[in-house]
Amino acid sequence: MLYRYLKVDIENRIGILTLNRPDVFNAMCLEFFREMDVLLGEVVLKREINALVITGEGEAFSAGGNISEMIGMSPGKARQSSRIVQASFNKVENIEIPVIAAVNGYAIGGGCELAMACDIRIASTEAKFGLPEVNMGVIPGGGGSQRLPRLIGLSNALYMLLTARLISAQEAFRIHLVQKVVSRRQLMDEAMGMAKKITHKNPDAIRRIKSVTRAGLRFGFEKGCQLESEALGSLLERIQGIKTND
């Protein structure tokens, strides 16, 4: 498939997905989400890559959606659009391979929500993060109100959501929204280096780590521990080339 709003490259089994609407700061639209869904589906089916890096073309990671446009939607249409966005970001979160966000500039609204759906976030020193929806009298619609407190804690999340304040990369690092801050020049090298380090490890173990860790957050500690034990046994069966019945 030819993509209009995304660019896709593969280097050494690492996929690079670039949001490609630099003239509008990589703002998102419904067609963008359709392309994202198709691309992620192809990644899962073809198993051509062992890690995915998501970044933005130009000066921004993504300025998100058009809030003013959303304000003009009927309530029913807004609910439907929200579910489309949520489903797309859920696919990013639930894809079996590790996903790294290389946040090169502004990550606002839906852009921030996309970054939060990734497993690891690396930011350039120029990056800014924010969820400004409350300024228009609405709330995030792409899962932001749910992922943010899970990543940075309730009070930090409410601070960002209620004030609509943009925070710097350094502040995002301090509150654990991002895992590393580097210069703009170093950003992609850092993201690709991290992805390369991960892909050199056992791919089955990497997939199991991601799945059981995220499942534990959804289903609770006890269920997570059960899944962890089952995954450990399955991996040892593969390594040892045996099948047990216990």
Q: What is the pLDDT of residues 205-234, one digit of tens each?
A: 999 999 999 999 999 999 999 999 999 999
Q: What is the pLDDT of residue 90?
A: 95
Within this chain, do residues 232 and 168 fall inside the same structural domain, yes or no? no
For 158-203, the pLDDT digits (tens) are: 999 999 999 999 999 999 999 999 999 999 999 999 999 999 999 9
Global confidence as pTM: 0.93
- Does residue 82 lie in a domain region? yes
Domain that holds residue 229: 203-240
Sorted by sequence, the CB contacts under 8 Å of residue 63 that are 6+ apart come out as 24, 25, 26, 27, 106, 108, 109, 111
Q: Which of 167, 182, 199 is the last residue of a domain?
A: 199
The Cα–Cα gap between 131 and 4 comes to: 26
Which residue numbers are catalytic? 113, 133
Within this chain, do residues 182 and 227 fall inside the same structural domain, yes or no? no
Query: Residue-wise over 153-185: b if at least 16 C-beta within 10 A, else e?
Result: eeebbeebbeeeebbebebbbebebbeebbeee
Mean pLDDT of the chain: 92
Hunting for tokens 């959606």 — which residue is that?
65
Number of domains present in the structure of the chain: 2
Within this chain, do residues 214 and 141 fall inside the same structural domain, yes or no? no
Whether the pLDDT of residue 245 is over 80: the answer is no
Q: Are 60 and 101 in contact (CB under 8 A)?
A: no
